Amino acid sequence: MECPYCHTPQTEVTNSRPTLSETQIWRRRKCLNCKEIFTTHEVVDLSHLVVIKKSGKSEVFNRSKLYSGIYGATIGSKTPEREKVVEKITREVERELLFLKRKRIMSIEIADIVLNKLRKTQPATFLRFLAYCKDITNESQMRRELSKYVFGDGLPRFARDDESVKVVMGMDSGSSPE
């Protein structure tokens, strides 16, 4: 690691610990040349992970795509501190991807990991993300997909009400699915 003060590569780690998210390592370093102390945050690189899209096309994992997909699903929600929530979920998904120890993964598998994180804490975002990633265009498709993410009696607590599904599908209470 190069010292940010004198630019010499001779540094030593004096303290190190994982961050709360377990996807970064905090390190306190000391330059052996100028004796300055500085901090670094090392992030695990997921560029080894190849994502296979629905089309069959492969691409290297892109954290910003994951973040923006989750962020887009929060638009319109009343989630306080939206950026912090999205960052936290993105880190949790990255951590789970690391623990899988795989070199290739289907994009729909990543979407399922995201959905399982969202359904527990962000019900409105869960519904929007589900509608987007599963290409849902009507109420019956939404109900079919929701049945895969059940809570005891069938549907998640926030989707038992017909109005919840209709709001996500962009229907008012008087319209019917197309």
Q: With 50 as the cut, is the pLDDT of residue 26 above it?
A: yes
pLDDT at 89: 92
pLDDT at 78: 75
Tokens of 56: 């069959």
Eight-state DSSP code of residue 31: E
Q: With 80 as the cut, is the pLDDT of residue 176 above it?
A: no
pLDDT at 150: 63
Tell me the CA distances in angstroms from 51 to 35, 104, 107, 118, one per residue in order. 43, 6, 6, 21
CB neighbour class for 54 (10 Å; exposed up to 12, middle 13-18, buried from 19): exposed
Q: With 50 as the cut, is the pLDDT of residue 158 above it?
A: no
How far apart CA 98 and CA 96 sit, in angstroms, is 5
- Range name among 30-44, 81-95, 133-147, 158-172 with the lowest pLDDT average: 158-172
pTM to 2 decimals? 0.68
Q: With 80 as the cut, is the pLDDT of residue 178 above it?
A: no
Tokens of 17: 């610990």
- SS3 of residue 57 by DSSP: coil
Q: With 50 as the cut, is the pLDDT of residue 155 above it?
A: no
Q: What is the pLDDT of residues 38-91, one digit of tens each?
A: 999 888 788 899 999 989 999 999 999 999 999 999 887 777 788 889 999 998
Would you say 2 and 8 are in contact if contact means Cβ atoms under 8 Å apart? yes
Q: Which residue has the tokens 């994992």?
A: 61
Alpha helices, DSSP H, located in the chain = 63-74, 82-100, 107-121, 123-133, 139-146, 162-168
Mean pLDDT along residues 102-110:
93
